[in-house]
Amino acid sequence: MKKILFFLYFSIFTSNILSASDSDFYRSTGKIYGVYGVVLILVLGLIFYLISIDKKLKKIERNLDNE
């Protein structure tokens, strides 16, 4: 059920951009790469922080095993 909902959600937006004429404009000024960069940094930043939390958790797990 969830998968179908996600598929529907994505298809609505992608069809919107593809049918709303030339997606040429999207990249025509080259500025959209600035947005891609920003989103990439956002996601990578969150992932790096999650990795550091994971490391902390691993340390505690090791302590638990040693007991």
Partner 1 sequence: MNIKNNWWKYLGVLCFIYAITAGLLIPLKPGIAEISEHSLYSGSSVDLSVRGYNTSFAEENYSGYIRLSGSQQIKASGFNVLDNQNAILHFELPHSFEGQEKVSEATLVINSPLHGYAIYPNLRILKPETDIPNNAQWENILEVTEADWKFAFPYRNIIVETIRNTFYHVAIWMAMFVLLTIALVYSILYLRKGNPVHDHVASSFTYISLVFGVIGVATGSVWARFSWGAFWTNDVKLNMVAISMMIYLAYGILRASIDDNDKKAKTAAIYNIFAYAAMIPLIMIIPRLTASLHPGNGGNPAFGTDDMDNTLRMVFYPAIIGLGLIGGWIAQIGIRIKKIDEKLINRALND
- DSSP reduced 3-state for 10: helix
The one among 1, 8, 51, 60 contacting partner 1 by CB under 8 A: 60
The pair of three-digit structure tokens given for residue 32, joined into one six-digit string: 């959209």
CB 26, CB 35: distance < 8 Å: no
Q: Is 35 in the site for partner 1 (CB under 8 A)?
A: yes
Q: Cα torsion at 6, 46, 36, 20 (round to 10°)?
A: 20
Q: Residue 17 Cβ, how far from partner 1 at the closest point, in Å? A: 5
Residues making contact with partner 1 (CB under 8 A): 9-10, 13-14, 16-17, 20-21, 25-26, 28-29, 31-35, 37-39, 41-42, 45-46, 49-50, 53, 56-57, 60, 63-64, 67
